[in-house]
Amino acid sequence: QIPKILHLGESDGGRAADIDGEGSGGSTLRIHHNRISRGPNTTSAVGINIQYDAGHEIYDNEITGKVLNIYGCSDCDVRDNRVTLDYPIAAAVLTVSGSSPGYYDHDNTYTRAPSAGPGLVVLVAQKGAEAPSDVLFEDDTITQGVAGLTAVQSLGIVGMTLRRTTVAGTA
């Protein structure tokens, strides 16, 4: 099966996720080299949204003012992305939820700026009866810019590893 390649170039917001892989019909997606930022007419908090399917590759994207949402993505490879939330949104900068076995996240930078207000940087969580399993974060940088708040939280999952990952925050 030939993967679908999603390369928008630059996007500055809108009413839906800038890139929405929800129900991609069993196709493997390669989402790469995109610059997504919050624009003046943005109503959606999501830069890239993946729901269900397997084997997607998300790499070399830059998202500013929006979040990355991964739900039910088996064997996904997420690498070399820079996601910075600098707008007040309660959502985590990265959310991995649902049945997402074998999720591999490496060489990414996730940042919640003080201007984003309270919230998590990374959330890996069960949703309904489905939970991520065998989740690996490797060589990532996760920065919580809001004083006194947690950077990474996992809830109801089966196996999560942070390897050579820097987790930083303000005191």
DSSP characters over 63-120: EESSEEEEES-BT-EEES-EEEE-S--SS-SEEEESS-TT-EEES-EEEE-GGG-S--
**Confidence category of residue 8, pLDDT binned at 50, 70, 90:** low
Average pLDDT, the chain: 86
* Residue 15 CB-density burial (10 A; 0-12 exposed, 13-18 middle, 19+ buried): exposed
pLDDT at 64: 94
Least-confidence region, from 12-16, 38-42, 166-170: 12-16
pLDDT at 136: 95
pLDDT at 25: 55
pLDDT at 149: 93
6 has a pLDDT exceeding 50: yes
Q: Is the pTM of this model over 0.85?
A: yes
CA-based nearest residue to 81, from 103, 59, 96, 99: 59
pLDDT at 122: 97
**Alpha-carbon span 3 to 57, nearest angstrom:** 10
